[in-house]
Amino acid sequence: MKKLGTGYCHKVFVSPVDGSEQRYALWVPLSYTPDKNYPLIVALHGTDADEKMIPEQCFEMPVRGFREDVIFISPFCRGDLFYRGAAEADLWAAIKAVKSEYKIDSKRHYLTGLSMGGYGTWRLGALYPQYWAAIAPICGGGEAWMAAALAKMPVWCVHGDEDEQVAVENSRYLVEALKPMNSKVRYDELSGWGHNSWEWLYDPDRTLDTLVSWFLSHRKPASARNVFVPRLQNDFWDLFRRRLIISYASGGSKKERGRNQEIAERFGKFQFGDWQMRAGQFFVKPDTALTAEEIRTDNHLLVGKPIEHAATIKFKGIDPSKKNLALRSLKRGALKIATGPWSSNRKQTIGICCCHPGIDLATTMESLLDDTGGKQQNPLVSGWEASRP
């Protein structure tokens, strides 16, 4: 029987989105035994950081160790994608990797994060309330719809009142929205503290009223079902939550083919303004290289004019430029992104990218990603929401 590693370590798993190796940091009690189930704490780092930030810089696990009654994981999640798209898929894949090796108590999954990870904690807590026993977002924020989703969730929110990077009003807004419907919300607003309010809650010298002790005081009444792949949410990010192939039209002029390939490769790297994928790369290929199996099973982003893309022929009877595919579209300048389900089982998502030669793709995509990240926050997103089937 294979002996499982204990203590603090770094591990990798193979991402289901693009087959790349993705990293996570892990703490397993030195006294771990497969004869019992352990609570699982998932910690989400901030921007310009990595999987080492919280366990090493905050809790100092390599030197101090950690609790003997919990398993702790901090995934890299591709860097700065705010735990959306491929980053969300990798989060669940990392948890799956841990659960495949160690015994986890499915009534006690806990989520925390700081800054970008605080935003991710609010969002993933609200999207999957059936999974988490409690959440602890720090100096983050979210959107109005999250309050109702978290009505029964124990929440411990922390924010510094002099935060210069994420305004404290972001946390105040959600906490005030939660209070009338949730008696399990706790809010600590730290007077005189800036953006580093996580140092208060994650302080390794803290012995009373600790985050872990608070987490362990909450559990689900019944075992949570495993989440192995992200939920489809009928938005642009659905393209990137499953295995994705970006294919470019090889028809048209030589100049058009070159530009289509360039755009496809930009999408493959997925680095647009604040949205920076710092690990992995989506599959990119010419339309003529698509296989029947890929067409049948994978998500697709078609770059170029649909009429010149071979996929409109290979997807027999399905013309993504016409009405037999219910497309939801967003336009920004001369860039058009449209997504919709290929098949009746709605397990596949298609995107079409038509980009005018004079457009700044990076600036346009950053604006588009920011807009589709919210729900009913502005007219563009409201239009997207209203057009959902």
Buried b (16+ CB within 10 A) or exposed e, 12-34: ebebbbbebebbbbbbbbeebee
- The structural domains of the chain, with segments of one domain joined by +, span 7-216, 236-386
Q: Please count the residues of the chain.
A: 389
Pick from 88-92, 299-303, 349-353 the range whose average pLDDT is largest.
Answer: 88-92
CATH number for the region 7-216 comes to: 3.40.50.1820
Nearest to 230 by CA among 123, 136, 327, 315: 123
Output the average pLDDT for the chain: 85
- 376: tokens are 């009913």
Pick from 231-235, 344-348, 381-385 the range whose average pLDDT is largest.
Answer: 231-235
pLDDT digits (tens, 9 = 90+) for 103-140: 999 999 999 999 999 999 999 999 999 999 999 999 99
pLDDT digits (tens, 9 = 90+) for 168-193: 999 999 999 999 998 899 999 999 99
pLDDT for residue 314: 59
Q: 295: Cβ–Cβ under 8 A, 6 or more apart, which residues?
A: 311, 314, 315
What type of residue is 162?
E
Please give the C-alpha separations between residue 70 and each of 3, 40, 53, in angstroms, as whole numbers: 19, 6, 19
Instruction: Kindly give the pairing relationship between strand 185-190 and strand 244-248.
Output: unpaired
